[in-house]
């Protein structure tokens, strides 16, 4: 259950609209069911009261939308940011991807978002309603009684491994501020590292062979804001709409992971949106783990303007030959 | 009607697999079902449907069309088509069976797509009725009855038995191959299941979604609707909805330079992509709104206009479940249709 309520958020948004601080509100709109929320720009109090939602299914990270929405808005855009979203927000500012002057950011606390697939794994298909109270109460077409689940048991992967409940950017904060958390997010990466190269190859082959190249991972990713992705650009020579073979399946993902290395904040959007449940975050986390190990702890988006180790030359930078020593010492 | 016990279904699969390659939904590593080639040890999934639709069997995501080999001034044209083998797709849901008819009208009308036609000719479809539709299912909107799936053979699965009825010559031929493993039976159990399914259909949350407002000749009613701005405002322009959709049929033809020659192949394309139908003068749909509108207008207006009123959506619900921003055809139909009824 979230500690801050929908009504509190609506009240805040309505007052900021009324006093002219903002001209519109980027928020979550209710859908057909209780879990299928859509990011939209709300223009007025009536729209907010009718369709705004804030519940355990508001996972979508709004930071990337500011690249397009802030530019077009007549006044300021109010954006609600969960702690993890604020890292993407800062990273985009570092990369000069939107105009900070056009945004009014309200930090909101988050108790973790629920993965509806995990709910279905417990309650079965045919969800008619999900009541996000103290616990989740799920009614389905096939069960007589609602199933009561603790949200903690059905959290999205990225929320189980939440790295921070602290907001690193906002104009105003609602509710209690949290702390940076020591998460176990690198445990899965360590397991992959412990595999033999053949096992690891087989693991990624098994995962990436399911990819349908829908590009949702790239399109949802706040670090992927190139105006023309090389993979969409016929002039790049590497444009490819579909993975023609297993080499191309992997190439797209590996190139993308390299391109976001040092800029990926580990927000988890890629894995959230993948229709094939491919654990893409593991690729990016491997880079983060390596950067931490080779260059010292670095969290992309923790502050605006920081230079990522991979684009910042220092005389202390490790020599290629030291990679293996340092990795083994840190293992 | 013939039946076998659910316990003996693997021997039925083994028998079918002797004569043709058999594919059926099997639970994958991430828990969702995937059409998989059957071999001893593969278990028929209980999942309602696969994430990836069975359109791959007839219209694969990538497919080589031909190759060119260059030597000096000579170009040799090579037919890379591999002889299609007979195959059986088992466990196809009613919505997906209907999607084949929608694809047929595109690929089998003149000029016939011979690659698609060959696969179609070699494939036998065994459908199965749905006993537990999902909240995202709205096949009923398109007149599809999940209790009466079409296909060469229709099947019904109960707790203990599987029932078969052949609908076509191909189906009769396949059913005769498993004659020794099945027995003749009455329709009683199947009729009881059909009744149960129809009771569930009346309770589905999307049961009232209607196509009344749509169909051929409606282009100008909706093309300039202001609702498209609102509906498409947060669309990422990814291709998820089009790639999971069993009826999306657009493709691109591309040449791959191998260094020694060229392989010409086709691959799925998506109207949601910025490079879709790019021509010499540039692209004809410059904004995501226009691209988004294309997808839904095609399914609800243009396709029926050219195909005797048949809509090119089967209500499978895949785009409802998989769109990263939860925008989908049901929301579009309710908004656009609701406002213009
Ligand atoms: S979202 Fe998943 S299926 Fe789509 S391109 Fe990315 S990895 Fe592939
Ligand atoms: S409607 Fe959804 S799935 Fe389709 S392109 Fe837009 S964001 Fe992607
Ligand atoms: S538009 Fe959506 S519901 Fe309709 S057939 Fe395609 S994926 Fe299924
Ligand atoms: S849409 Fe209909 S036919 Fe398709 S899976 Fe759902 S209930 Fe079955």
pLDDT in tens, A100-136: 999 999 999 999 999 999 999 999 999 999 999 889 9
Q: How much is the average pLDDT of A16-32?
A: 97
Write down the pLDDT at residue A233. Answer: 87
Whether B327 is in the pocket of ligand 2, judged by its Cβ within 6 Å, is: yes
Residue A246 has pLDDT above 80, yes or no: no
Distances (CA, A) of B46 to A122, A126, B52, B132, B155: 15, 14, 16, 10, 14
Q: Do A219 and B322 touch (CB under 8 A)?
A: no
Q: Do B244 and A33 touch (CB under 8 A)?
A: no
Nearest chain B residue to A224, by CA: B236
Give dist(CA A238, CA B51) in Å, integer: 28
Probe site for chain A from B236, B267, B278, B335 (most A CB atoms < 10 A)? B236
CA distance A2 to chain B (A): 21
DSSP string, A119-186: HHHHH-S-EEEEEESSSEEEEESS-SSPEEE-GGGGB-HHHHT--BSS-S--SEE-S----B----TT
Write down the pLDDT at residue B339. Answer: 65
* Percent of chain B topping pLDDT 70: 99
Q: How much is the average pLDDT of B146-175?
A: 98
Give dist(CA A244, CA B256) in Å, integer: 10
Residue B340 has pLDDT above 60, yes or no: no
Residue B24 has pLDDT above 60, yes or no: yes
Judgement on whether residues A145 and A208 belong to the same structural domain of the protein: no
Q: What are phi and psi of B326, to 5 degrees?
A: 55, 45
Whether B204 is in the pocket of ligand 4, judged by its Cβ within 6 Å, is: no
Q: How much is the average pLDDT of A276-286?
A: 96
Judgement on whether residues A126 and A38 belong to the same structural domain of the protein: no
Probe site for chain B from A32, A143, A210 (most B CB atoms < 10 A)? A32
Task: Quote the ligand 2 centre to B241 CA distance (angstroms).
Answer: 6
Range of the domain at A1: 1-115+163-183
Q: Do A241 and B269 touch (CB under 8 A)?
A: yes
* Percent of chain B topping pLDDT 90: 87
Encode B208-229 in three state secondary structure.
CCCCCCCCCCCHHHHCCCCHHH
Identify which of A34, A115, A107, A22 has the alpha carbon closest to the alpha carbon of residue A69.
Answer: A22
Judgement on whether residues A79 and A175 belong to the same structural domain of the protein: yes
Give dist(CA A183, CA A203) in Å, integer: 24
Judgement on whether residues A46 and A150 belong to the same structural domain of the protein: no
Task: Quote the ligand 4 centre to B137 CA distance (angstroms).
Answer: 5
Judgement on whether residues A189 and A318 belong to the same structural domain of the protein: yes
Tokens representing B162?
């599987």
Write down the pLDDT at residue A328. Answer: 67
Tokens representing A126?
């045919």
pLDDT tens for each residue of A79-88: 999 999 999 9
Q: What are phi and psi of A141, to 5 degrees?
A: -65, -20
Tokens representing B136?
């995202």
**Is A34 strand, coil or helix?**
coil
Judgement on whether residues A104 and A193 belong to the same structural domain of the protein: no
**Interface ipTM:** 0.95
Distances (CA, A) of A218 to A143, A206, A249, A271, A313: 38, 20, 14, 10, 28
Q: What are phi and psi of A25, to 5 degrees?
A: -130, 120
Q: How much is the average pLDDT of A314-319?
A: 85
Helix, strand, coil percent content, chain B, rounded in steps of 5: 35, 20, 40
Judgement on whether residues A101 and A10 belong to the same structural domain of the protein: yes
Residue B154 has pLDDT above 80, yes or no: yes
Judgement on whether residues A120 and A225 belong to the same structural domain of the protein: no
Judgement on whether residues A171 and A60 belong to the same structural domain of the protein: yes
Give dist(CA A73, CA A90) in Å, integer: 20
Write down the pLDDT at residue B285. Answer: 92
If phi over 0 gives left and psi between -120 and 50 gives alpha, with beta otherwise, what is residue A186? alpha
Beta bridge partners of A38: A29
Atom of ligand 4 nearest to the CA of B93: 3
Q: What's the start-to-end Cα distance of chain B, in Å?
A: 44
Probe site for chain B from A43, A65, A125, A204 (most B CB atoms < 10 A)? A125
Helix axes A281-295, A246-260, angle to 10 degrees: 50
Nearest chain B residue to A30, by CA: B326
pLDDT tens for each residue of B187-237: 999 999 999 999 999 999 999 999 999 999 999 999 999 999 999 999 999
Distances (CA, A) of B256 to A235, A236, B52, B85: 14, 14, 26, 26
Whether A282 is in the pocket of ligand 1, judged by its Cβ within 6 Å, is: no
* Percent of chain A topping pLDDT 90: 82
Give dist(CA B95, CA B56) in Å, integer: 15
Residue B309 has pLDDT above 60, yes or no: yes
Write down the pLDDT at residue A330. Answer: 58
State pTM to two decimals: 0.95
Give dist(CA B99, CA B57) in Å, integer: 12
The residue among B83 and A22 whose pLDDT is bigger is A22
Distances (CA, A) of B281 to A68, B42, B277: 26, 51, 11
In which band, very low, low, confident or very high, does the pLDDT at A317 lie, cut at 50, 70 and 90? confident
Neighbour-count burial of A51, counting CB atoms closer than 10 A to its CB (0-12 exposed, 13-18 middle, 19+ buried) = middle
Judgement on whether residues A120 and A86 belong to the same structural domain of the protein: no
Write down the pLDDT at residue A272. Answer: 97
In this complex, how many residue pairs, one in chain A and one in chain B, have their CB atoms less than 8 Å apart? 122
Q: What part of B 223-252 touches A (C-beta under 8 Å)?
A: 230, 233-234, 236-240, 242-244, 252
pLDDT tens for each residue of B79-112: 888 767 899 999 999 999 999 999 999 999 999 9
pLDDT tens for each residue of B281-292: 888 899 999 999
Judgement on whether residues A125 and A268 belong to the same structural domain of the protein: no
DSSP string, A264-307: -----HHHHH-TT---THHHHHHHHHHHHHHH----TTSSTTPP
Task: Quote the ligand 2 centre to B233 CA distance (angstroms).
Answer: 11
Q: What are phi and psi of B239, to 5 degrees?
A: -110, 20
Nearest chain A residue to B325, by CA: A38
Q: How much is the average pLDDT of B15-28?
A: 96
Residue A245 has pLDDT above 80, yes or no: no
Give dist(CA B214, CA B299) in Å, integer: 10
Mean pLDDT of chain B: 95
With beta carbons less than 8 A apart as the criterion, state whether A185 and A266 touch. Answer: yes
Judgement on whether residues A220 and A330 belong to the same structural domain of the protein: yes
Domain count, chain A: 3
**Is B161 strand, coil or helix?**
strand
Residue having the nearest C-alpha atom to atom 4 of ligand 1: A214
Sequence-distant (6+) residues with CB within 8 A of A66 are A26, A77, A79, A89, A92, A97, A98, A103
**Is A217 strand, coil or helix?**
helix
Q: Which segments of B149-247 are extended strands (E)?
A: 153-157, 161-166, 183-184
In which band, very low, low, confident or very high, does the pLDDT at A329 lie, cut at 50, 70 and 90? low
Give dist(CA B121, CA B244) in Å, integer: 24
Write down the pLDDT at residue B281. Answer: 85
| Of B132, B204, B243, Cβ closest to residue A212 | B243
CB neighbours of residue A330 within 10 Å: 11
Identify which of B31, B239, B170, B234 has the alpha carbon closest to the alpha carbon of residue A214.
Answer: B239
Residue B150 has pLDDT above 80, yes or no: yes
Task: Quote the ligand 4 centre to B333 CA distance (angstroms).
Answer: 18
| Of B135, B233, B322, Cβ closest to residue A141 | B135
Q: What are phi and psi of B317, to 5 degrees?
A: 85, 5
Q: Do B52 and A127 touch (CB under 8 A)?
A: no
């Amino acid at each position: 259950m979230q500690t801050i309520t929908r009504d509190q958020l609506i009240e805040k948004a309505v007052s900021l609209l009324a006093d002219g601080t903002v001209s519109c509100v980027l928020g979550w709109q209710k859908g057909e069911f209780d879990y299928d929320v859509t990011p939209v720009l709300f223009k007025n109090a009536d729209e907010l009261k009718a369709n705004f939602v804030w519940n355990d299914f508001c996972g979508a990270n709004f930071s990337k939308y500011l690249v397009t929405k802030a530019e077009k808005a007549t006044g300021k855009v109010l954006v609600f940011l969960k702690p993890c979203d604020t890292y993407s927000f800062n990273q985009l500012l570092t990369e000069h991807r939107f105009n900070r002057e056009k945004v009014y950011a309200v930090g909101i606390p988050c108790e973790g978002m629920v993965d509806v697939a995990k709910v279905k794994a417990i309650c079965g298909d045919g969800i008619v309603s999900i009541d996000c109270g103290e616990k989740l109460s799920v009614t389905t077409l096939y069960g007589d009684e609602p199933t009561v689940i603790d949200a903690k048991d059905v959290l999205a992967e990225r929320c189980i491994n939440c790295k921070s409940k602290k907001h690193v950017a906002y104009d105003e904060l609602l509710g209690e501020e949290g702390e940076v958390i020591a998460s176990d997010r690198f445990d899965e990466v360590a397991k992959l590292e412990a595999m033999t190269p053949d096992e690891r190859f087989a693991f990624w082959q098994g995962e990436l062979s399911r990819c349908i190249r829908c590009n949702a991972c790239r399109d949802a990713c706040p670090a992927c804001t190139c105006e023309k992705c090389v993979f969409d650009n016929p002039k790049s020579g590497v444009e490819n709409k579909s993975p023609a073979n297993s080499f191309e399946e992997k190439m797209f993902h590996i190139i993308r992971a390299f391109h976001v290395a040092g800029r990926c904040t580990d927000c988890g959007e890629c894995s959230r949106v993948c229709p094939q449940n491919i654990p893409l975050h593991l690729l990016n986390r491997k880079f983060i783990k390596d950067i931490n190990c080779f260059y010292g702890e670095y969290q992309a988006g923790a502050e605006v303007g920081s230079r990522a180790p991979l684009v910042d030359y220092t005389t202390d930078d490790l020599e290629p030959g030291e990679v293996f020593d340092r990795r083994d010492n840190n293992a | 009607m013939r039946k076998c016990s659910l316990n003996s279904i693997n021997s039925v699969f083994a028998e079918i697999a002797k004569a043709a390659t058999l594919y059926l939904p099997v639970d994958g590593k991430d828990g969702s079902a995937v059409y998989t080639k059957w071999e001893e040890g593969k278990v028929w999934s209980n999942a309602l449907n696969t994430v990836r639709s069975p359109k791959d069997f007839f219209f694969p995501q990538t497919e080589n069309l031909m190759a060119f080999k260059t030597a000096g001034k000579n170009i040799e044209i090579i037919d890379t088509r591999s002889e299609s083998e007979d195959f059986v797709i088992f466990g196809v849901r009613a919505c997906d069976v209907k999607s084949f008819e929608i694809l047929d009208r595109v690929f089998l009308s003149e000029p016939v797509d011979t690659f698609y036609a060959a696969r179609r000719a070699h494939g036998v479809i065994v459908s199965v009725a749905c006993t537990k539709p999902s909240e995202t299912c709205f096949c009923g909107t398109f007149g599809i009855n999940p209790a009466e799936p079409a296909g060469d053979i229709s099947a019904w699965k109960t707790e203990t038995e599987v029932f078969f009825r052949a609908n076509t010559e191909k189906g009769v031929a396949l059913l005769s191959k498993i004659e020794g493993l099945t027995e003749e039976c009455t329709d009683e159990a199947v009729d009881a299941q059909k009744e149960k399914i129809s009771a569930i259909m009346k309770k589905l949350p999307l049961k009232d979604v209607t196509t009344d407002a749509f169909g051929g000749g409606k282009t100008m009613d909706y093309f300039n609707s202001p609702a498209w701005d609102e509906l498409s405002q947060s669309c990422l322009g990814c291709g998820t909805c089009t790639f999971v959709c069993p009826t999306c049929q657009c493709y691109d033809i591309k040449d791959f330079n191998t260094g020694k020659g060229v392989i010409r192949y086709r691959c799925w394309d998506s109207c949601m992509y910025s490079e879709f139908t790019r021509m010499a003068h540039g692209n004809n749909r410059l904004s995501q709104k226009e691209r988004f509108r294309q997808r839904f207008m095609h399914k609800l207006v243009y396709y029926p206009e050219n195909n005797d009123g048949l809509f090119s959506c089967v209500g499978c619900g895949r785009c409802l479940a998989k769109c990263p921003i939860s925008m989908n055809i049901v929301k579009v139909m309710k908004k656009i249709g609701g406002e213009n009824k």
